[in-house]
Structure 1
Amino acid sequence: MSGRILIAGGATTRFHQLAERLRDAYLDVSDAPDGRAALEMARTEDPDLIIADARCPALPGLHLCRAIKTDPSLAHLPVVILADREARAERLAGLEAGADDFLSLPLGDPPLLARLRNLMRMKAMVDELRLREETARALGLPAAPEPQPETPGFPTPGLMLAILPDPVSARRRAAQLGAALGIECRPLTCDRDALAAAERIPPDLVMIEPGEGAAPLEAALRLVAALRSRPGTRGAGMVLVLPPSAGEAAPMALDLGVDDCVTSPPDLAELAARLRTLLRRKRYSDRLRDAVRDGLLLAATDPLTGLFNRRYAETHLARMLEQCARAGAPLAVMMLDLDRFKRINDDHGHAAGDAVLRGFAGRLKAEVRGADLVARLGGEEFCVAMPGADEGEARRAAERVRAAVADAPFPVPEGAPIPVTVSIGVAVMPPSATPPPEMAPAAAALAASMRPADGAVAPGLAEPAAAFLRPPRASANRGAAGAARPAPAIARAAPDGAALLARADHALYASKAGGRDRVSLIRLG
């Protein structure tokens, strides 16, 4: 688990001990002497999560949380308030102020780390959405509205599913929470009914409250995994109400994708406050997604496949480079080229070629992560940028894509489905690597000039980048004369998005030189 955590705990022994526990879990921890210092550090250090002592000097946890959540530039930061005793009124006040969690010490490492992992995963997704929104703004597109604090008790339109084992309990809980949150809350008792209902109308919130026993708990966890795997419910806020005997299952549930866990019977006011926080967070994420989607439809997406276009990819990749460099994280870029695509157009017509491109785009997106950047660069050439992916992850992702393309032919409007293969080049910049070189003027024509043989994956290939500057073998599919064209030179200078695409294109060049249906990899640094 990686992440930057800011602790506002003052000079107390327990918070020094907490900081050491988190460092032992390989987290990057910063200490603030008091709440006011923590607020300033939050503005300058961009932490992934803030832990605030309820009794923190200068600015106690509750007031620090309010200051963060009412500041549009900081409102997306997760805040956890820690107290040394159970205090219901204080806990409710913290949750109503926007705290993402309110925990009482002492707390064991597994549940604490599971909750922190969960919050940092959500922060990473919001960061990616914010990064895309910043890219859209840099392209001159409309920006998403900044998050605004919601008026307490003001009914917000929305939908929630309350899933309990029996109809009476489900109806009662749905009525209680619907009234508390001011949203429609539908009672359900069957897992399959819940999945079907979520498929028809994606909910904003899901609450699952299984009965006692191992079997109901296992069924609830399976339902969590199923809901998280479906596009319509992937972003829904999810709370699991666990029986007292199943408290140890909370870390597992949080790692599976539950946003919060409480113990049964739940304090209804606290449960409503936690759900309200999740609803507010989802609304913010939805606003970011909508702004990016709506603003980019014409300016930054490819109309045929619905993927991002080259202009957006290069601009956004530059921001990914900066972000990964700041976080000390690796970055991998795949370049993909459909083998012998011109032959498909010549033999089957452009309508068939368009159908293959659309089908390939769908398979490509299905095999990579939601946070990855997927773009069509032009013609039959595509790219995928994978922040945080190391060499092994990048190679496995490339192999998944290669297999998904080769395993089943592509349907076309007329005639039999067409078998297709893809060549993939991968460039991986490890955390310690020097950023890749910028393309020289001659390299501007790199993508157009590199058209060697057909696609392949060569597992384990990690030679120096210079090795891929050799011209490929001659091929009948490389131009009118059938001769290989030399690769353009690349000059070293400041890094940008086009530079990393160029390095991945060199790996693709090597893959094409090796034959069809292959993947080649370049390790930078």
Structure 2
Amino acid sequence: MAGRILIVDNVPTNRIILKVKLSSAFYEVIQAASGRDAMMRAKQDQPDIIILDTNLGDMTAHEACAQLKADPITCDIPVLIATPAADTEAKIAALKAGADEFLTKPIDELTLTARVRALLRARSTTHELRRRNETARTLGFAEAPVNFTMPGKIVLVGRNPEDAMTWRAGLRGLVQDTIEISQADRVIEKIAADDAADVYLISADIMGSTGGLSLISDIRARANTRFAGIVVVHGAQDRKEAIMALDLGANDIITRGADPEEMALRLRSQMRSKKEADALRSTIDEGLRLAMVDPLTGLYNRRYALPHIAQIAQASNQAGQNFALMLLDLDRFKRINDTYGHAVGDEVLKEVALRMQKCLRSVDLVARYGGEEFLICLPQISLRDARITAERIRAAICDTAVTVTAQGDPVMSSVSIGLAMGGAPDGTPVQHDTQALLDIADRALYDAKAEGRNQVTLGPFAA
């Protein structure tokens, strides 16, 4: 099934009609006959969307929605409320109660399914972000959620300047975010210049009957506005454009001439969702960075390096190219810690990491493998150039003091390097096992240590 939808209505006929419409679109439908029943089914079945009729018998839809949004178990489930067509107050009350959308009675099937698709898409994205964030928090890589109070930026794109100015006048005092008016043909120009908004309010019929729809696609295609909120204003009879807008990536639609308070509520909802999603992505990115980067040296760690090397090995095999692996170990590092203390030892590790990076190309990988041991992978390189690079790294570390103590004593260090080559020595692609190459480099490193340290030793070419 594409999604599970809970229908709540105290009139059985209404539930059946709505179930038929949704089941024909291959959604799984469950039903509840009252507000109390809805609370129980929502917690028990965890639907992807809840559709509430205005009157549920034992409570109103607004009361039920408020309870659902206040419960931590059900607060993230999108809620749609069915309202009378001409009842503006009911629509605004639905949004104030926390509803994600309202459906105008009689419910149009195409509009219903378009709304459901848009909400399922948004819920899937948010749910995945929250799941990743929880994983990061479990691993200790993320912080607790914060309140989102910083004002955002809303850009209004009307059919003409007067159109947008009317919107801005109506929104004055109802939203706390910065509001700008932009011509349609300048929106993408500003985005390209890194002047993006958090939310866009766009007329569906700018630059022709479907100009707004084209602009939605352009906004979604840009990296810095891919997750922006988009609300499309459409004519009361333009059902086709409204449905297309939702399917093209609009987050919400609103009928032209709607009450300014309704517009403000929708924009505030989109801004809140955008800010929350941005914060989650930022937390996840930071968590991933902490999970993959060694905090002392700033190098990638083993967790990141091994799968990355596996990809390099696969690409080298497919292209018939050589690549090199190096395992490097600082010589007599324990003596440095014992003589000068661990703080000086940390400074040595940081400086060694910096010197290695300066000896490598942008495509090369250097990682802290553990302790005083480092791992380097050089894609698309010959044996001769790999040995030259290894010798350059060795000399960069041992030729001058890696740090100076507080007493002014220079601290010298050196490194032993085990080198292994992977790829296609005779032009014939060879499927390499990454661990086997690491074992070859490790044995070569052991030989370098046994033969006197501060040298590069080549292991046998893997085959």
Deviation at 1:102, TM superposition (A): 0.9
Where in structure 1 are there 5+ consecutive unaligned residues?
315-333, 359-377, 382-408, 415-450, 455-472, 486-512, 514-525
Taking the aligned partners of 2:137 and 2:124, their CA distance within structure 1 comes to: 20
Q: Secondary structure at the match of 2:209?
A: helix
TM-superposition CA deviations, 1:214-250 (whole Å, max 9, x none): x523221111001111122122211111134533211
Match of 1:18 in 2: 18
Match of 1:294 in 2: 286
Structure 1 residue 279 corresponds to structure 2 residue 271: yes
- Distance in structure 2 (CA, Å) of the matches to 1:247 and 1:481: 62
CA contact (8 A) 1:83 1:105 kept: yes
1:337 to 314, 335, 339: 314
Structure 2 CA distance for aligned equivalents of residues 136 and 270 of structure 1: 37
Residue 208 (structure 2) pairs with residue 216 (structure 1)? yes
Task: Tell whether the 8 Å contact from 1:92 to 1:269 is kept in structure 2 after alignment.
Answer: yes
Greater alpha carbon shift after TM alignment, 267-276 vs 284-293: 284-293
Residue pairs, 1:365-404, within 5 angstroms:
none
Q: Among 134, 159, 173, which residue is 1:179 paired with? A: 173
Q: What SS does the corresponding residue of 1:216 show, helix, strand or coil?
A: coil
Q: 1:74 to 1:336 in 2, by over 3 A?
A: farther
* Count of residues in Structure 1 that have an aligned counterpart in Structure 2: 354
| Distance of aligned partners of 1:137 and 1:336 in 2 relative to their CA distance in 1, 3 Å threshold | farther
1:355 correspondence with 2:362: yes
Q: d(CA) in 1 for partners of 2:113 and 2:305?
A: 36
Q: Which amino acid aligns with 2:362?
A: A
254-263 or 4-13: bigger deviation: 4-13
CA deviation after TM superposition for structure 1 residue 59, in Å: 3.4
1:20 to 1:98, Cα distance in 2 relative to 1, 3 A: same
3-state SS of paired residue (1:217) = coil
User: 2:140 aligns to what?
Assistant: 140
CA contact (8 A) 1:76 1:126 kept: no
8 Å CA contact 2:323–2:377 kept in 1: the answer is no
Q: TM-score, normalised by structure 1?
A: 0.58
Using the TM superposition, give the Cα deviation of residue 196 of structure 1 relative to its aligned residue in structure 2, in angstroms: 1.1
Partner of 2:248: 256
Shift of 1:101: 0.6
Residue 106 (structure 2) aligns with? 106
Mapping of residues 225-236 of structure 1, within 5 Å: 225-236=217-228
Query: Residue 266 of structure 1 is aligned with which of 255, 258, 263?
Result: 258
1:202 Cα shift?
2.8
- C-alpha distance in 1 between matches for 2:97 and 2:53: 15
Secondary structure of the residue that 1:42 maps to in structure 2? helix
- The reply on whether 1:55 has 2:58 as its aligned counterpart is no
Post-superposition offset of 1:61: 1.4
1-structure distance, mates of 2:105, 2:435:
73
CA 1:452–1:54: 2 relative to 1, 3 Å? farther
Checking the alignment, whether the CA contact within 8 Å between 1:345 and 1:353 is kept in structure 2 is no
Superimposed CA distance per residue, residues 44-66 of structure 1 (whole angstroms, 9 cap, x where no aligned partner):
32221111111113332111111
**Helix, strand or coil at the partner of 2:314:** strand
- Tell me: CA distance 1:475–1:120, structure 2 relative to 1, closer, same or farther (3 Å): closer
Name the CA distance, whole Å, in 2 between partners of 1:230 and 1:357. 29
Conserved? CA contact 1:34–1:57, under 8 Å = yes
Report the RMSD for the aligned CA atoms in angstroms: 4.3
CA offsets 1:367-420 (integer angstroms, 9 cap, x no match): xxxxxxxxxxx9879xxxxxxxxxxxxxxxxxxxxxxxxxxx99xxx9xxxxxx
CA distance in 2: counterparts of 1:21 and 1:166, whole angstroms: 38
- Supply the distance in 2 between the matched residues of 1:313 and 1:5 (Cα, whole angstroms): 43
CA contact (8 A) 2:324 2:377 kept: no
Structure 1 position 478, deviation (Å): 6.5
Rounded Cα–Cα distance in structure 1 between residues aligned with 2:200 and 2:250: 10
CA displacement at 1:78 relative to structure 2: 0.8
Could you say which residue in structure 2 is the equivalent of 1:402?
A: none
Q: Can you give the 5+ residue segments of structure 2 that lack an aligned partner in the other structure? A: 326-355, 366-374, 386-420, 441-462
Secondary structure at 2:210 match in 1: helix
Helix, strand or coil: the match of 2:322? Answer: helix
Q: 1:306 to 1:162 in 2, by over 3 A?
A: farther
- Cα offsets for 1:439-467 (capped at 9, x unmatched): xxxxxxxxxxxx9978xxxxxxxxxxxxx
| Amino-acid identity (%) | 30
Query: Which residue does 1:4 correspond to in 2?
Result: 4
Secondary structure, counterpart of 2:173 in structure 1: helix
The whole-number CA distance in structure 2 between the counterparts of 1:289 and 1:114 is 27
SS of 2:31's partner is: strand
Q: Is the 8 A contact 1:254 1:260 kept in 2?
A: yes
Q: Secondary structure at the match of 1:284?
A: helix
Alpha-carbon distance in structure 2 between the residues aligned to 1:45 and 1:380 = 49
Out of 170, 180, 203, the residue aligned to residue 197 of structure 2 is 203
CA distance in 1, matches of 2:86, 2:77: 25
